[in-house]
Structures are given as C-alpha cells and as structure tokens.
Amino acid sequence: MSIRVGESAQAATFPKAAKKLLQNTQLRRNVRRATDTIRGKRAKVVDEMPDWQALRTAAQQIKKRTLRNLDSYLVQFEKACAEAGGKVHWARDADEANAIVVGIIQSHNQKEVIKVKTMTSDETRLNHALEAAGISPYETDLADLIIQLGNDKPSHIVVPALHKNKSEIRQIFMEQMGLKELGHAPEDLAGAARNFLRERFLRVKVGFSGANFAVAETGSVCVVESEGNGRMCVTLPDVLITMFGVEKIVPTFDDLEVFLQLLPRSATGERMNPYNSIWTGVTPGDGPKEFHVILLDNGRTKVLADEESRETLHCIRCAACLNACPVYRQTGGHAYGSIYSGPIGAILTPQLQGMQHSTTLPYASSLCGACYEVCPVKINIPEILIHLRRKIVESGGAALTERMGMAVAGYTLADSGRLGTAQKLVQLGRQPLDAIGLPGWSAARDLPEIPKQTFREWWKSSRGGK
C-alpha cells in the first residue's frame, strides 16, 4: 500500500527544519504579518456572531455523526451522485487515486488539466503523476500558481504562499509569465494572474477539483473559494474530476448551513467567501458533460480506527489553528515537512503517513491550546498531540536519555522521601537538571538560583512538621 502525504516521509525532523527556517528573517516577517492580519479579521467576524459556540457544537456533532455512520453515508452519496449522472470511483491510496485521474484524462486524449486548489491532490502528488504521464496540470488558485511558478512548496493550508510577500510574488510573476512590466499593487498581481489563466480556462477540456463538503443525502459536492478560478474549473471544462477524502461527507444538505457559516469566518475572516459552488451530478446545458468523483482513503480509515484521535477527521481545513499557533508563527509551514502544517499538520501527518516518519511533529507544540480555542469544529488538538506522544513512547520511539530521565523522575515523584533526596542533589549542584538535556535551554535563558531550602524543609523547620 502506498499511503503518501506529499513528500513528508522524506522530510527533515521538525526541530532541524525549524532551526533553519528561524534564520530566514524575511520569511518570518511575512508569516507574522499575514497571521496577525488574519487573526485580527477572524476575531472581529467571530465576535459578532452570538451563536458561534452553538455553531461549533453543531458542527462537532454533525462530524461525529458522519464518522459514526461513514460506511452508509458513503454508499448513500455514491448512489445519489450516480443517479444525478456522476461516476464514483474509490481509491485506497495515493497511487490508485493518481492512476484513476490519469486514466480518465487519457481516455479523452487530453494533455492538459486545469486545477483548483486541492489538498488531497498534493497529498497524492498528483501533479507529479500527471507530468509523468505527459499531462500538464495548471494550478489556478493564485497562491498555488505562485507556488507552481516559483517551484516552491506550500506553507499554509488556505494560503499556500503565505510566506511570500507581494514584491517576491511580483518577481516570480514577471520572470515566469515573461512580463516586462508589472505594477506593484496587489490588484496588479491579481490582474496578471487573470490574464495569464484566462486563455487556459477557455481552452482546457478537463477540470480537477477537491471538495470542501459532499452531501450524502443529495450527492451534491461543494467547493468554497474566492477568486472564481474554482467556478471556472468546475463549470467550463467538458470533463470534471473531483477528488476528496472519505471524511468530507456531511449527512444532509441542511448541514451545509452550519459549515458555510463557520468556514469563511475561520479561514479568511470574511462573513462569506465570494463564491460557493454546489453541484449535483451533471446538468444538461450547464457545465461539464461528464463528472467523476474519487473517494480517497489514503490512511484515513487508519485514523478513524483510533478512538482517541479520530476527531482529527473532523477538520474542515480552515487553517485557523495555524494562524493562532505561536509555533507556526515563528517557523511558517515548511518546518512541518508536509503539506499539512501547523497544529492540524502536527496531528494529521503522523497519523496518515505512519508515526515512524514524523515522530517529532507531535512535540512541535507548547500545548498552549490556542488551536483548540479557535477550531470551528472543536478538535481538541492538544489532547490528540499528547495521545500521539504516548503512542510514540509506547512504541519505543522516544530517545533513551528521555526514557531514562522520565523513569527516574517517575520513581522519584512516587515517594516524598525520594523526592527529598533528589532535591538535596539539586541543591548540591545543577547536574540533575543539565543531565536531561538543558543545554538548549541554557543557550538563551539562565536557570534560577537553586534555593538553599526547599519549601518542605522550611515547613518542617518553621511549623515543626505540623
């Protein structure tokens, strides 16, 4: 089986990658600025919603219900979609999914496909597979276009090029689009993308999209976007292929009323994103003549099997947890070595990819809880991080020094007499503290003076052990 989450299996460990990125002051400034902006906007439009917590609760319950009955909802979706003229495919893993896409495009003798931002296709590395088959994938989302033209990696799940500022983007566009002149305003850059892609939208016969939600009841698929590139991709081509993870199902059409309120406010701090497209199968005289859906597993059923962490699959990819995360704020997304970065990446990548590939990710958090606070579907990310740490420790994945330190500490703390003895040792010198790896700490911080007397000693001497 080839479960794949982009190139995460080959990625450097988090501390190593982070250390390098921390040197990049421009990138860090860009990330800080962008996340500050979005956090401010989000806070404003969330605060004006008196029923925000009720919406979060409903969303969490809907997602729970979905997962609890996922098999029947998938079958229900398949049936409804097929009845409306869609064709449903199932893909166990990345290679199987890519092969289905390539097969459909080749059966129409096409060499090009226009794509709207799809995390699952980054997961399966679809573009790579398409290129290998001689098919050119064109990313049409502005940020994805920046990444594709700049030969870069996404660093954020909603705004993949968040680490780039406008002058860097301008540079990439001028070079890659062959423009001699280009204004400096964001409007000019957006205009350049419009001109660059317009001809492709009108020409290319195959479109590819993901889905934010898929409705079991009606077989409908929903894509949430801003630029209109999504509408172009799902409307203009003759053939449309839509791929999404099996967890993207919601039971009923009415459930959309919950998510379409939570998502834009959480993701971009807007009351509503400019466009939502919802379509059901094929509509004669309007849009594609052929519609394929690919339901992707690629590790999701493994996540589903772990009761303690299955709520990871509730995620609606709004990135609010990234924007709120003080760790992400410092490093940006590349440190996570995966297309899924930030707090959600720290729990999702190891579970999808297999824990052995990403044992440092669950530790890439101070457990401050900012992610949980903003998550629109109330995923308790800190709890899941701790759960994954436990799994790493139980499978022997922790460093020997750490295991020994923890064992000694556990033994010491199980008895106040032993604790007293250890405290004496600490007072005699700093050795025991340094021994568990405090050099990293001491590079930038002093350790406190070790007091001559512990509290319990003081109590005993001043209160006579009363």
- Contact between residue 350 and residue 362 where contact means Cβ atoms under 8 Å apart: yes
Residue count of the chain: 466
* Binding characters for ligand SF4, 259-298, by CB under 6 A (x = yes): -------x--------------------------------
Rounded to the nearest whole angstrom, what is the least distance from the CB of residue 243 to ligand SF4 in the complex?
Answer: 19
- ∠ CA(189), CA(192), CA(196), 5° rounding? 145
Binding mask 369-408 for other proteins (x = CB under 8 A): xx-xx------------x-xxxxxxx---x---x---xx-
Q: Is 2 an interacting residue with respect to other proteins (CB under 8 A)? A: no
47 vs 440: CA distance, rounded Å: 40
Choose between 79 and 134: whose C-beta lies nearer to other proteins: 79
The helix/strand/coil state of 277 is strand
Q: Which stretch binds ligand SF4 (CB under 6 A): 5-13, 135-143, 370-378, 428-436?
A: 370-378
Shortest Å distance, C-beta 397 to other proteins: 9
d(CA 448, CA 446): 6
| Least distance CB 445 / other proteins (angstroms) | 3
- Contact between 27 and ligand SF4 by CB under 6 A: the answer reads no
- 3-class secondary structure for 91-160? ECCHHHHHHHHHHHHHHCCCCEEEECCCHHHHHHCHHHHHHHCCCEEEECCHHHHHHHHCCCCCCCCCCC
Residue 40 or 134: the one with the smaller Cβ distance to other proteins is 40
Site string for other proteins, 265-284 (x = CB under 8 A): ---x-xxxxxxxxxxx--x-
Beta-strand runs (E) in 307-404: none
CB 392 → other proteins: shortest distance, Å? Answer: 6
- Would you count residue 370 as binding ligand SF4 (CB under 6 A)? no
Binder of residue 357, out of ligand SF4, other proteins, none (CB less than 5 to 8 A by kind): none
Widest distance between CA atoms in the chain: 91
- 218 part of the interface to other proteins, by CB under 8 A: yes
Nearer to other proteins, 136 or 454 (CB): 454
Give CA–CA dist 399/397, Å, rounded: 7
Interface with ligand SF4 by CB under 6 A: which range of 18-26, 124-132, 281-289, 375-383?
375-383
Cβ atoms within 10 Å, residue 212: 25
- The smaller minimum CB distance to other proteins, of residues 123 and 227, is found at 227
Per-residue contact flags (x/-) with ligand SF4 for residues 320 to 339, judged by CB under 6 A: xx------------------
Applying CB under 8 A, does 355 fall inside the site for other proteins? no
Question: Which window, 102-110, 135-143, 206-214, 346-354, contacts other proteins (CB under 8 A)?
Answer: 135-143
Q: Are 157 and 173 in contact (CB under 8 A)?
A: no
- State which of positions 427-466 bind ligand SF4 (CB under 6 A): none
The amino acid present at 292, given as its one-letter code, is H
116 binds ligand SF4 (CB under 6 A): no
CA distance 301 to 382: 22
How far apart are the C-alpha atoms of 183 and 167, rounded to whole Å?
Answer: 10
Which residue carries 């940006």 as its tokens? 332
**Chosen from other proteins, ligand SF4, none, partner binding at 260 (C-beta under 5 to 8 Å by type):** other proteins
Residues 6+ positions from 461 with CB-CB distance below 8 Å: 453
Which of residues 210, 281, 376, 382 is near ligand SF4 by CB under 6 A?
A: 376
Cβ(158)–Cβ(268) below 8 Å = yes
Q: Does 302 bind other proteins (CB under 8 A)?
A: yes
Residue closest to 374 by CA, chosen among 33, 39, 58: 39
Report the distance separating Cα 386 and Cα 402, nearest Å: 16
Min CB(341)–ligand SF4 separation in Å? 10
Distance (Å, whole) CA 299 – CA 281 = 27
The least distance separating ligand SF4 from the CB of residue 13, rounded to whole angstroms, comes to 22
Query: Which spans of this chain sit near ligand SF4 (rule: CB under 6 A)?
Result: 266, 315-321, 344, 374-377, 379
